[in-house]
Amino acid sequence: MRKEEILVHPFLPIYDKNSRILILGTMPSVVSRQNQFYYAHPQNRFWKVLSHVLGTRLPETTREKKEMLLSHGIALWDVLASCRIRMSQDSSIKDPVVNDLGYLLQHARICAICANGSKAGSLYRKLVYPNTGIACTVLPSTSPANARYSLEKLIKEWAVIREYLI
């Protein structure tokens, strides 16, 4: 088994002044880090779920993914700025340090925060909520490790974000 490593978040948040909903994960996976963008593992269903919920075609390039998010008022980032982690295993996270959401929240119209999975949700509630006071809706993880949820069930659960979008 590989040992854990100290990981510093490698990506900037995706948002603009019109972003109304912020979706937070925990930390980019090994494959996402290798591909230098969020949810880049081919089995992660994030982009499929969002494109279905938004009624758009599945984005393929990084540029298309960013455009899809921003054109629908969605910001994307992760709860953690750094942590110790083994591979992509959220359950192995130790010594979490959170991203400072303050600047993003001041420069966007965020009215809702959603967590992609229970680990992101619990980290947000414990470490970030006391500073923001903004409640977080925890959605089922789109990770391939979350085999309990079919694509159809994920789409149904994630549809709640529509009420916050422009």
Over the stretch 25-75, which tens digit does the pLDDT of each residue have? 999 998 999 999 999 999 999 999 999 999 999 999 999 999 999 999 999
Tell me the one-letter amino acid at 29. S
Which percentage of the chain shows pLDDT scores above 90?
84
Beta-sheet strand order (sheet of 112-116): 74-78, 21-25, 112-116, 136-139
pLDDT above 70 for 2: no
pLDDT digits (tens, 9 = 90+) for 87-104: 888 888 899 999 999 999
Question: Region 75-86: what's the mean pLDDT?
Answer: 94
> Each residue of 73-107: b (16+ CB within 10 Å) or e?
bbbbbbbbeebebeebebeebeebebbebeebbee
Where do the domains of the chain lie, and which CATH numbers do they carry? 5-164 (3.40.470.10)
CA-CA-CA-CA torsion sign (134, 137, 138, 141): negative
Tokens of 136: 């977080």
Calpha distance 109→107 (Å, rounded): 7
pLDDT above 70 for 166: no
Rg (CA), the chain: 15
Burial of 62 (0-12, 13-18, 19+ CB in 10 A): middle
Which whole-number Å values give the CA distances from 145 to 17, 91, 166, in the listed order? 33, 11, 31
Q: What is the model's pTM? A: 0.95
- Yes or no: say if 83 and 94 are a contact pair by the CB < 8 Å rule: yes
